[in-house]
Structure 1
Amino acid sequence: MVGMLAAMPPPAPPFAQPDDARFRSRGDACPGALRLHRADDGSLARVRVPGGVLGADQADGLRELAVELGDGELYLTSRGNVQLRGLGAECGGELASRMYEIGLLPSERHERVRNVVASPLSGLDGRGARDVRPWLTALDALVCASEEAAGLSGRFLFALDDGRGDVDALGADVTLRARADGDAELRIGALDPVARIPADEAPRAALLAATVFLSMAAGSGAWRVADLPGGAGPLRDEVLRRWGAAGLPVALGTVPVPDCTPPALGVVAGSGDTDALSVGLPLGRADAVRWRTLTDLARDHGAGELRLTPWRGVVVPGVRRERASGALDALEAVGLVTGDRSPWTGVGACIGRPGCAKSLADVRGDAASALSVAPTVGALPVHWSGCERRCGHPRGAWVDVVAGPDGGYRVSVVRDGGRADPVHVADDPVALADAVAAARDPRT
C-alpha cells in the first residue's frame, strides 16, 4: 500500500492564498511554500524537503525561482529545508505552481507538515545500521495520505537515524533509529527508554505516534511533544498500548540521546568506487553561482541529487573517486566550506537586519567582519542572534552571541542545559572576534 501511495501522482492542487481560513485554524504562524511570511526584506517561503533529499532538477528549479522571484539566494534551515527570501507580495501563485511542477508540493494540505530530518550520509559511507531512504519514502507517503496528519503544526518534527546517532540528537518529536540487529527504535520526544519495534513497521509507528499526539494535544495549544501538559510519557504509553493491541511486537530498552555529530566536511569515502562530498554553506546561504556549482556536480558527476543537512550543509553523493578531490577544490573555489580549517566552520546566524524587524543588529555582517579581522577555528559551534529568540541556534554545547539594545553583544557558552555568565562586548570586530575565540576554546 505504501508503494502504491508513493507511486501515484497527486492531482494538481487548487493553490490557497495566505489569508485562507485554513491557515488560521490552529494559530500556527510557521511559514510554508503556500503561505508566505512577510519579512522586512520581502516575503519568505519555506520549502519542506523531507530528509533533505533534492533531485538536481528540483534544486535547479529552486535556484531559478530564487533568481526570478526573490533575492537570488537560497537559505538552508536547521531542518534541512530551503527558504526563499525577498519575494514579491504577488508571486505566491506562480511560486506554488512552479514548485508543484518540479515535484516539491505533492500535497497542498500537508506541505507544512512534511518535516523530516534523516542521517545525511545514510547508505553512503558504510556506517550506520541500515539505509533509511526506504523509511523516508514510506513515511512521507503515509503522512501525505493521512487526513489526521494534516493537522500537525509546521513545527512538528520526525527524525530518521540510520543508527549512528546524528539526527537522534536533534530533539525531534518522533525519532526512528535503526539497530544493528535489524530492528528499529522509536523515541518519543527526548524520552529514554525507547520502544524496540520491527524495522519494516517503523514508518507506520512514527505516523501512529504523530496522530496519537494530535488527539492528546487537542485543546491544549501544544504544537510539539514537549508542549504536552502531561509530558511525553503518557503519549509514549498510549502509542505502545495501541501498538500492542494491534498484535505487533514491542519492547522497551535504554538508549540515551547521543551527542550531536554533524557529517565531517570534505571527501567521505564510500564503499564502492564512488565517494560523497560534504560541504558547508557560509551562514547557511548560497548564491546562484554556488548553488549551480553544486547542482551541476550532482548531475554531471554524481548520483543526480543533493542531500541538505540539518547543519546547513550539503552532501553530494555518487562522485567517482578519481574525480572527488578535484570536485572538492572546485566547490572551495566558489566559497563553499570544504574542511574544518575554514573560519566559517561551525558559524551560524539568524537572518538579522535588514531581513527581520525584531533583530537589533546586522548579525551576518558583524559575524563576517569579526572573521575577516581575526579568523578563528574553535571546538564549539557559534551562533549569532539578533534578538533573544535565537532563531536557528544549534543543540548541545555552543557559543551564544546575542545582540543587545545598547549596540553591543553578549557572548556566553551554553553547555549541559546551562548558560555561563555572559561577557558584554562592544560592537567592534576585533573585540567580538577575541571574545568569540575565547568562548569557542574547549579549555574555557
Structure 2
Amino acid sequence: MLAAMPPPATLPVPLSPGNASARARGDACPGALRLHQADDGALARVRVPGGVLTVAQADVLRELAGRLGDGELHLTSRGNVQLRGLGPDCGSELVSRMGASGLLPSERHERIRNVVASPLSGLDGRGDRDIRPWLSALDDLLCASDTAVGLSGRFLFALDDGRGDVDVLGADVALTARSGEDALLRIGSSESVVRIPANRAPEAALIAAEAFLDAAPGSGAWRVTDLSGGGEILLDEVLRRLRQAKIRSTRTAGPVRPPDSATPALGVVTGPQDAVTLSVGVPLGRIGAAQWQALTDTARRCGSGELRLTPWRGVVVPGTDPAHAAEALARLGSVGLIIGPRSPWTGVGACIGRPGCAKSLADVRGEAAATVGAAGALPVYWSGCERRCGHPRGEWVDVVATPDGHQVSVVRGEERGGAQSIPDSPAALAAAVAAARGTLS
C-alpha cells in the first residue's frame, strides 16, 4: 500500500460552479451491493475491470441473470455488466456467487473498480505495449487502498496501449503506453501529460486518484471535471507526490488525440504468429442467454477461455483457433450478434428507455429497432430524455425523445449541429436518422 502523503496548503480546490449543486445530492451510482430500483425491478452494476471475464465468471453472470433477473445481460459504455429486473431478496445470493467466482474481490471497493482498457491489446500486433499487467496491478492497488474507497462510482481509469482507443473516453485518470520504457499519465481533460516509467504506471494512476480525493475534501466531487480548473489544477500536486514516491516524472505537452476512438473492427482480427481474435457487437448492448452461451462456448472450445467486454458494447474472444475462426464467427452471427461493419445494427445504441426508466419519454430501444436500415457512416445513439445516459463520444448522431416527438442532431466533439425537431411520425423519424447518419461507403 502507498504511504499516506499530507496535502499541501493550496487544497481544497473548489467545485466547478456548474456542477456544485448536483454534487450535493450524493453519489447514487449503483453497484453489485448497492442496487438501484428501476421501473423494471432492481438493477445491479457489476464492475469488470478492463472488461476481462473468465468463462466461469461469464457463466455465473448468465445464471444469475436467468434465475434472479430478466434473463439478459446489459453491457455498459464502460465495459461493465448490468443485471436488470432483479427481485427484492436477491442480494445475498448475488454477493455469495460473485464473491466465490472472483467478481467481487473487495466489497469495500466494488463500485470504484471502473477501469476501461484497450480490448485488443496484446492480440492484434498494434499498440506500444500489452497493458494487461497494468490492469491486474491497478486493480490490486485499488482494492488495497483505504483512501481509494472514497472515490465515487463514476470515477474512471483508462489504460490505453498506445493506439488511442480508450484515451478519448473522458477518463479521470488515463495511462497511455509509449514505445520504449515510458508511459503518459493524463488527468481529466488536461492538455498536459506527465511522462513516467511504464513499470510504475499503475502506482502513478493511484497516486493521481488519491490526489483528486484530497483536492476537494467533503465537497462531494465525483469526477475531475467537477473541480474548478479540472485536471490542470491537480498536475503540480500529482507531480509533487510522484517525486515523493521516487517515480521519475516530467510534465510535457500531451499528444494530439484522434477525433474519435478507434473501436475494434468486427469479425476475424489477425495478429502476430497467425494469432486470431473474434470481435463481435451486441445489438443495443442487450445480450440474451443463448447469445451469451454461444460466446462462452466459443471461448471454451476454440479460444483462450476468456472474454473481453468493450466500452462500445462489444465482446472480444481472444486466442481463437485459426482453423475454426470463420465457422465460429458464423455461429455467433447466427444467434444475432453483429459480426461485420455492414450489419444494420453496427453503430446503433440506446439507453434503456421505457419501460425500464421512469424518466424516459419513449421506448427508444423499440424505436431504434423499428428504424434500423442500411449501415450508416456515423453511429447513432437513442436517448429517452436529455440526460443521454451512456452516450458515445466523438462524432455521432444524437436522437433524443421529447414531449412532442424527437430531436435529431449531429455531435462532433463538443459541438452540436443540424438539430431537427421531428414530430411523432415513425416515417419522418426514420428518414431524418438515415439522412444524419449518411451512407457507409
- Decide: shared fold, TM above 0.5: yes
Q: Which amino acid aligns with 1:303?
A: S
Confirm or deny: 8 A CA contact 1:275 1:317 kept in the other structure: yes
Residue 245 of structure 2: aligned partner: 246
Query: Is 1:122 aligned to residue 99 of structure 2?
Result: no
Confirm or deny: 8 A CA contact 1:276 1:316 kept in the other structure: yes
Cα deviation, 1:15-73, whole Å, max 9, x if unaligned, reads xxxxxxxxx99821000000110000000000000000000010011000000000000
Residue 13 of structure 1: aligned partner: none
In structure 2, distance between residues paired with 1:249 and 1:424: 53
Residue 401 of structure 1: aligned partner: 399
Residue 5 of structure 2: aligned partner: none
Residue 420 of structure 2: aligned partner: 423
Q: Which amino acid aligns with 1:181?
A: G
Aligned positions of 1:22-421 closer than 5 A: 27-254=26-253, 255-258=255-258, 259-371=260-372, 375-406=373-404, 408-421=405-418
Note the C-alpha offset of 1:429.
3.0
Cα deviation, 1:54-113, whole Å, max 9, x if unaligned, reads 000100110000000000000000000000000001111111111111110000000000
Q: Say if 1:68 and 1:289 are closer, same or farther in 2 by CA, change over 3 A.
A: same
In structure 2, distance between residues paired with 1:164 and 1:418: 24
SS of residue matched to 1:110: helix
Confirm or deny: 8 A CA contact 2:50 2:79 kept in the other structure: yes
Note the C-alpha offset of 1:340.
0.7
Confirm or deny: 8 A CA contact 2:40 2:84 kept in the other structure: yes
Note the C-alpha offset of 1:191.
1.2
Note the C-alpha offset of 1:221.
2.4
Confirm or deny: 8 A CA contact 2:31 2:44 kept in the other structure: yes
Q: Which amino acid aligns with 2:329?
A: L
In structure 2, distance between residues paired with 1:196 and 1:50: 24
Residue 12 of structure 1: aligned partner: none
Cα deviation, 1:360-405, whole Å, max 9, x if unaligned, reads 000000110111xxx1211211000000100000001110100111
Q: Which amino acid aligns with 2:403?
A: P
Q: Which amino acid aligns with 2:130?
A: D
In structure 1, distance between residues paired with 2:243 and 2:134: 21
Runs of at least 5 residues in structure 2 that lack an aligned partner in the other structure: 3-22
Note the C-alpha offset of 1:117.
0.2
In structure 1, distance between residues paired with 2:228 and 2:308: 36
Q: Which amino acid aligns with 1:319?
A: T
Runs of 4+ in structure 1 off by over 6 angstroms are none
Q: Between 247-256 and 352-361, report the one with greater CA deviation.
A: 247-256
Q: Say if 1:230 and 1:25 are closer, same or farther in 2 by CA, change over 3 A.
A: closer
Confirm or deny: 8 A CA contact 2:24 2:220 kept in the other structure: no
SS of residue matched to 1:419: strand
Query: Is 1:436 aligned to residue 437 of structure 2?
Result: no
Q: Say if 1:275 and 1:244 are closer, same or farther in 2 by CA, change over 3 A.
A: same
SS of residue matched to 2:73: strand
SS of residue matched to 1:78: coil
Q: Which amino acid aligns with 2:278?
A: L
Cα deviation, 1:308-342, whole Å, max 9, x if unaligned, reads 00000000000011111111100000000001100
Confirm or deny: 8 A CA contact 1:352 1:360 kept in the other structure: yes
Runs of at least 5 residues in structure 1 that lack an aligned partner in the other structure: 3-23
Q: Indicate the structure whose relative CO is greater, using CA pairs within 8 Å and at least 6 residues apart.
A: 2
Confirm or deny: 8 A CA contact 2:338 2:345 kept in the other structure: yes
Confirm or deny: 8 A CA contact 2:70 2:86 kept in the other structure: yes
In structure 1, distance between residues paired with 2:25 and 2:217: 10
SS of residue matched to 1:365: helix
Note the C-alpha offset of 1:426.
3.0
Cα deviation, 1:290-311, whole Å, max 9, x if unaligned, reads 0000011101110001000000
Q: Say if 1:256 and 1:215 are closer, same or farther in 2 by CA, change over 3 A.
A: same
